[in-house]
Amino acid sequence: MKPCRNADILWRATSLATTTVRGHYGLMNLAHRWLCGSARWKNAVETYILPWTLEGLSLGSNVLEVGPGPGATTDLLRDRVERLTCVEANRALADALRHRQMGRNVHVVCEDATAMSFPDQTFDGAVCFTMLHHVPSAAMQDRLLSEVARVLRPGGVFAGTDSLYSRSFRLLHLFDTMVVVDPATFAARLRTAGFDDINVDVMKPYAFRFRARKPNPVAV
């Protein structure tokens, strides 16, 4: 399975646009913003990215999605869980997603995922899809991981995916925030953030997925 082939084709096709707007945490050029809201990207998410990321996992009934952006993943996740809470740092994206999900089982919050307002042990599971590279430093990425661990209940699953570095990926992020996550060191970073039962799978040359669990002392 090649979960990001469609995305890679789109990156190559749109990589030369350089107009920038505010993205999740930093800058996002116009081509990148268009890609994330396109029908072809939604198809790639539905066909490859989300099934591969969540393969064999049970997230529970009350789930957190970090950095949904335009909400292509949100549209699919809401049918898999009883309650879905989305944390999006960009005000315009959060407002648009909230309006589009009105009346459904989705609650959208505009805030920084490195300092979330939720109480400890709020969620059964958490996910993030192709957004970690938008967080502008490795230190902030680590704070986000620690925050997800804080708001997960013991035994809760954290799953996600992100892209591997390539020239086309770099060009798509021209004048964007792009701090690529190294899958070779990501398991150790998740462990430091408070997770165990960690798996990181690489699908070259496109992406990697990860699964981790917040320890449950009662189950030991």
Residue pLDDT, tens place only, 79-104: 999 999 999 999 999 999 999 999 99
Average pLDDT over residues 45-70: 95
Instruction: Pick the more confident residue, 198 or 14.
Output: 198
**pLDDT at residue 40, rounded to an integer:** 78
Structure tokens at 36: 């994330």
The secondary structure of 56-90 as a DSSP string is T----SEEEEE--TT-HHHHHHTTTSSEEEEEES-
Give the C-alpha separation, 33 to 19, whole Å. Answer: 10
Burial of 167 (0-12, 13-18, 19+ CB in 10 A): exposed
Q: From the options 3.40.190.10, 3.40.50.150, 3.20.20.70, 2.60.40.10, give the CATH code of 5-219.
A: 3.40.50.150
Find the DSSP H helices in the chain.
5-14, 30-36, 39-44, 50-54, 72-77, 91-100, 138-151, 167-172, 183-193
Instruction: Report the percentage of the chain scoring pLDDT > 90.
Output: 67
Structure tokens that stand for 65 in this block: 């999605």
Among the residue ranges 39-48, 107-116, 136-145, 182-191, the one predicted with the least confidence is 39-48
Q: Which helix (H) or strand (E) holds 115?
A: none
The letter for the amino acid at 91 is R
The CA angle 124-130-132, to the nearest 5 degrees, is 80
Q: Report the C-alpha gap between 98 and 81 in whole angstroms.
A: 17
Mean pLDDT, the chain, integer? 84
What one-letter code names the amino acid at 185? T
* Distance of alpha carbon 140 from alpha carbon 136, whole angstroms: 7
In degrees rounded to 5, what are phi and psi of residue 169? -65, -40
| Residue 177 banded pLDDT, cuts 50, 70, 90 | confident
For residues 189 and 8, the model is more confident at: 189
pLDDT at 72: 92
Q: 3-class DSSP state for residue 65?
A: strand
Q: Cite the DSSP H helix spans in 63-120.
A: 72-77, 91-100
pLDDT tens sequence across 181-212: 999 999 999 999 999 999 999 999 889 999 99
pLDDT tens column, 130-170: 999 989 999 999 999 999 999 999 999 999 999 896 677 66
